[in-house]
Amino acid sequence: MKCILEFMDDPRSLARDRRSGITLRELEVLQRLIQSGTAMNAARDLGISQSAVSRRLAQLEERLGLRLFERSGGRLVATVEALSINEQLRPVFDTLERIVNQSEEDDRSHSGTLSIAAPPTIAHRFLPPFVAAFCRRNPDLQVVFDVLASDALITGIAECRYDVGLTDTQLAHDGIRAEPLISSVSVCLLPEGHPLARREVIEPGDLEGEPFITLSRRHSGRTAIDRLFERAGVSRRILIEASTNVATADFVRAGLGVALVNPFPIADEIGSGVIVRPFRPVIRYTANALLPSSHAPSSAALAFVAELRAGLDTSRYSEGD
270-292 pLDDT, tens digit each:
889 999 999 999 999 989 999 99
Q: Is there a contact between 99 and 14 (Cβ–Cβ < 8 Å)? A: no
- State whether CATH 3.40.190.10 applies to domain 187-281: yes
pLDDT score for 141:
94
> Thinking of the domain 112-183+286-317, which architecture would CATH place it in?
3-Layer(aba) Sandwich (3.40)
What CATH topology corresponds to 4-106? Arc Repressor Mutant, subunit A (1.10.10)
Alpha-carbon gap, residue 100 to 28, rounded angstroms: 14
The sign one gets for the Cα dihedral 129, 134, 140, 145 is: negative
107-146: per-residue pLDDT in tens?
555 888 999 999 999 999 899 999 999 999 999 999 999 9
The overall pTM is greater than 0.75: no
Bridge-based pairing of strands 69-72 and 112-118 is unpaired
37-to-73, 81, 90, 93 alpha-carbon distances in Å: 11, 16, 18, 18
The ranges assigned to domains in the chain are 4-106, 112-183+286-317, 187-281
User: Do 112-183+286-317 and 187-281 agree at the fold level?
Assistant: yes
What are the tens digits of pLDDT across the range 34-82? 888 888 888 888 888 888 888 888 888 888 888 888 887 778 888 888 8
